[in-house]
Copies of this chain bind each other. A is one copy, B any other.
Amino acid sequence: MTANGEEPQIEDLKLADPEEDVVNPWSVSSSSQEGVDYDKLIKRFGSSKIDQELIDRWEKVTGKPAHHLLRRGMFFSHRDVHTILTNYEQGKPFYLYTGRGPSSESMHVGHLIPFIFTKWIQDVFNVPLVIQLTDDEKFLWKDLTVEEATRLAHQNAKDIIAIGFDVNKTFIFSDFTYMGQCPDFYRNISRIQKCVTFNQVKGIFGFGDSDVIGKIAFPAIQAAPSFSTSFPLIFGAAKVPCLIPCAIDQDPYFRMTRDVAPRLGFPKPALLHSTFIPALQGANTKMSASDNNTAIFLTDTPKQIKTKVNKYAFSGGQASVEEHRKLGGDCKVDVAYQYLRYFLEDDERLEQIRQDYTSGALLTGELKKLLIDQLQPIVAAHQEKKSKITDEMVKQFMTPRPLNFVK
């Protein structure tokens, strides 16, 4: 909502002015060590803050405690989640849609976050989930061949499956593959592409005259899975509402989608927006799959994790032990502490760590060790699970099919 309570029209969905944080699907940056100002972003994007009232209602409706990523504000913004909850109370169905751009072989721990959260929502509500791998997007934006982008999509599918999704409730698809399997997908893409002008994608995404026509047309391909008729084997011809958990940088796609949905007779997709997990170097940049030292990768060894955290994780501590004991550390900018907020589920322990680091009782090296101890088993367990994901299992998840709910 904007200041006057109206959802912005597609014409108003302009890019940030140069003095603001840059947050769009291809670039996220902030000049502040604390990272993007998410409250400002909510105002600029016209979304709603996830407040205690929404979290309380979520817990009441589902009868289950909220996930720590929701309680701690890593998912901080939403659109129309109250509507989804109301529908759920009334026994009306919805489905989940999320995705990934497969730009590299290995994913980093930041990439896990939306999937872990999405799996939790799926478990809580017991709803179908579709996961789009935008190999066509990565082909268009990166120096990749079609074949390489498709191969990366299948590789990434293994990491996603390893998170523990239920094959009976989850369909994973790559655009290059699914486009040739389901005429309804292209039909919805074409319907969206008939509703959106170049002027509009110029305003929303910042495209220019020298951009290739593939990029200009792509937003419709990320929009189309928001409409359930793109998956006839799952939903038939029913127009089922959709909830999209995603990082806030993907919101431009779905503002566009929400703008065209009523014109095409579809419900507007609801959204849950996450913050960005900071790079090891600090919250003023985003983790990057293309710079090996900015992130903990899912392929890293315990030793690599230890070295990276100790060597690169930006510290909120003081210059010397003496000073640190006296002045204490700054959790707001300390990357080890910020990571623990994502990966340490125990609220009481996290609060104790926060107090100890802030007071100076806990030293930077000790805090880093806590994170290393937390991440090493998570990454090792992921590798163990991934090693058991066969090509046959990937094929199962990626085969268009009815989903099969056994409650």
Contact = CB atoms under 8 A, between A and B. Distances in A.
Contacts of A211: 197-198
A350 interface: no
Interface in A75-91: none
Contacts of A190: 136, 139-140, 146, 176, 214
Nearest to A149: B190
A182 B180 CA distance: 5
A210 B194 contact: no
A190 to B, nearest CB: 5
Interface string A217-241: 1011000000000000000000000
Nearest to A186: B179
A179 B176 contact: no
B213 A197 contact: yes
A213 B198 contact: yes
A183 B193 contact: no
A183 B190 CA distance: 16
Interface in A142-200: 146, 176-177, 179-187, 190-191, 193-199
A216 interface: yes
A124 interface: no
Given A198-B198, A198-B209, A193 B181 contact: no
30 contacts: A139-B190, A139-B194, A140-B190, A140-B193, A146-B187, A146-B190, A176-B187, A177-B183, A179-B180, A180-B181, A180-B182, A180-B185, A193-B212, A193-B213, A193-B214, A194-B214, A195-B212, A197-B211, A197-B213, A198-B209, A198-B212, A198-B213, A199-B209, A202-B209, A213-B216, A213-B219, A213-B220, A214-B220, A216-B216, A216-B217
Interface of A: 136, 139-140, 146, 176-177, 179-187, 190-191, 193-199, 201-202, 207-214, 216-217, 219-220
